[in-house]
Amino acid sequence: MTERESSEIEKVLLYISDARTRAKRAADVVAKDGADAHIIAALADAERQLGELHTKLAQGTYYAVPDDSLKLAV
């Protein structure tokens, strides 16, 4: 992975992380305001999905091994 690729991935991960934090904050605010359960649940689900997306992107880029390197030499 090049430095530029790593930098771009890092930016996306940061945006996802910021969105996750914002979803959590929004869920807390609307819960405190007495919002309907489905609104709170939707925001909590969005936060969970963003966390999973963050993990999936990190694992698929920073921790991934290119398929070619897994092949045995013939």
pLDDT in tens, 13-22: 999 999 999 9
Residue 1 CA to residue 7 CA, distance in Å, equals 10
Residue 7 CA to residue 4 CA, distance in Å, equals 5
Residue 27 CA to residue 47 CA, distance in Å, equals 9
Residue range 57-70, pLDDT digits in tens:
999 998 877 766 66
Residue 28 CA to residue 48 CA, distance in Å, equals 14
pLDDT (mean) for 24-53: 97
